Structure 1
């Protein structure tokens, strides 16, 4: 096991993504952040808080549960369905930035795009991830990446956040020592 991002480094990465969002969206006007549970939701809230701290802009934040849209439901244990929380302003005509912790095969993002189409019609959709570990199975790429971590298929990336796990850290687990 190897620590890839410490708590302080993770905070700097979130700050950098928040700045990139502000730059690429010309001040985040018309932008909504939707976090993909479990760890994408607190990351979306952190990004919104940092954007507010930098520019005093309130970016609406929601949560997009993708459980019923996954293509691996038959392979894994039953998952509890979580809430989808759409900001009061909705997403129609807005730029939606999906937020997740790790981008791997792209299947979670595909499920999120399907779920998104059931709750509204955004003007555009972007993707922000804390870690991109490669090994895509679908033609999906992130617009905002905190850290690229090339991995072997036998390895995994474990993100822990204070909100869900009690501490902030990103670790690389498994593979060759």
Structure 2
């Protein structure tokens, strides 16, 4: 089973690396046109958004071809942020004396992100993140309440950092001096 999962992951890496070189938005939509229940929607979407999909593909391919360092550094930063976020989940669950490891917290984050992306239409993922965390924690045979608590603590951390950011913006705006244009008019 592990070999099959590893092969699937390597195949996914191969397809994504090929997609980044040539663009993958149009290919992804073209793939959806072969799936029975979304076939008509995908065909309509591909026809109506053809120019936009071409532009997305060209921008991704251009970034990958001309700015490889920027492309791979942004990919590395995203991966690092995900690992740090899973470490946050690990610390929160450890605070509740849950028997989890770092790999478990990565799985919890992956599943809750997948769940949140499936329910993308909820504003600010209200409830969907907590539900995904509850289901993921329950899948590891822990109580689902730990997932809800983890989601609430994460929300609280986000609110604190939002407040700090707004405060820094207010302080930064007060420290800016208005330009004195009276000296320029005299000369």
TM superposition score normalised by structure 2: 0.25
Structure with greater strand percent: 1
Kindly name which structure, 1 or 2, has the bigger radius of gyration based on alpha carbons: 2
Q: Which has the higher contact order (CA 8 A, sep 6+)?
A: 1
